[in-house]
Structure 1
Amino acid sequence: MTERILVVDDEPGILHALQRLLRQGLVDGNGQRYLVDECASGELALEHASVHVYALAISDYRMPEMNGVDFLSALRRLQPDCQRIILSGYTDLNGLIRAVNEAGITRFIAKPWTDYELLSAVREVLKVRELTLESRRLADIVRTQQGQLNAHEAELRRLERMEPGITHVNWAEDGSFILEDPDDARS
């Protein structure tokens, strides 16, 4: 499965430059190029995140309507294993503190960036994510072997890591489950 990166910025030139840099400069552990999705707003990016699983999201800090911290905070709730990076041309200490505390960003990169700096930071963040997920998987195997976690719970955790939200079911009062139309969730 090819991994995805989500790039969010209200400036089209920056979006295209980031997409080009990430597509050309990164490969995953299997030698595959990452799919890079670009969105011009946080709202649109959240719609994409309700359909696709992302390994990493890179967002501008200052955007109209929904700023980068608000977007990444919402994304964190939707996809907790997606790593988050903020880009900004402004140094706002309070905003940076809020980004760390609320959105759980792993890196802050100043605009303008150097390609080497950005690619190095992205590689590092993706490697940490890969190691964290593998560590969690191995810990689940050990817990299963020790009887602390049954095979069913381990499988649910595995599925949730692959497709966030897949194991959550909305139940009606009569015991039936409620299917949601993804288009309704976006309105």
Structure 2
Amino acid sequence: MYRILLVDDEPNILSALRRLLAAREADAGPIVEIFTSPREALARASEVAFELVISDYRMPGMDGVAFLKAFREIQPDAVRMILSGYTDFDALMSAINEAGIYRFISKPWRDAELTAAVHQALQMRHLLVENQRLADIIRVERGKLSRQEAELRRLESESPGITKVKWGEDGSVIFDDLEEVEPTEHIEIKPLH
């Protein structure tokens, strides 16, 4: 099973893409998550690993290149694609160079072309991840990478952000997105005799 993230400011496009990918890839059982907000999609990407992300190019607040660049910082192993009704050559080159996109697909898309591109992207990602895993095994055997570093890489690829924990001076874990909460009641715990 694999996860696909779709980002577009048009809900109808997202629904059509979700139906297409779920219908064409039903045997593999993909999990397809959709977002109209690039910022919400980035927040989700820091929680769950995706094999593939497809983004619209023109969206309010953040264009597809900026979104995919930020996404790549969180999940460098995910394959990135842009889907757009605009065929601006400069935008395409920017997407390739800055965001490292795998493929640019024009709107309106042809179903067969899109599903073939998704299939190829997922196959390529599988090969890249497997090559990285095998290279890490060789690095461990040659003493150029510790087993702990290899395991941290594996964990980070499965659960983005898991290895980037902020620790307090007292050994507590610091969560940036949580507000300070005042305790509503003080409970004293007494040891049992």
What secondary structure sits across from 1:6 in the alignment?
strand
2:151 aligned residue: 155
Matched, 1:116 2:112: yes
How high is the TM-score relative to the length of structure 2?
A: 0.86
How high is the TM-score relative to the length of structure 1?
A: 0.89
The sequence identity of aligned pairs, in percent, is 51
Which stretches of structure 1, 4 residues or longer, exceed 4 Å deviation after superposition? Answer: 181-184
1:110-159: CA deviations, max 9, x gaps?
A: 01111110011111111110000001101111121222222112111111
- How large is the Cα RMSD of the aligned pairs? 1.7
Q: Retained in 2: the 8 A contact 1:160–1:167?
A: yes
Unmatched 5+ residue regions in structure 2?
180-193
Unmatched 5+ residue regions in structure 1?
none
* Structure 1 residues 106 and 88: CA distance shift in structure 2, 3 A: same
Query: Distance between the aligned counterparts of 1:147 and 1:63, measured in 2?
Result: 47
2:24 aligned residue: 25
Matched, 1:70 2:66: yes
Alignment of 1:165-180 (within 5 A): 165-172=161-168, 174=169, 176-180=171-175
1:47 aligned residue: 43
Residue 85 (structure 1) aligned to one of 81, 84, 107: 81
1:137 aligned residue: 133
2:96 aligned residue: 100
What secondary structure sits across from 1:43 in the alignment?
helix
AA at the equivalent of 1:176: G
Task: Report which of the two has the higher share of helix.
Answer: 1
Larger Rg: 2
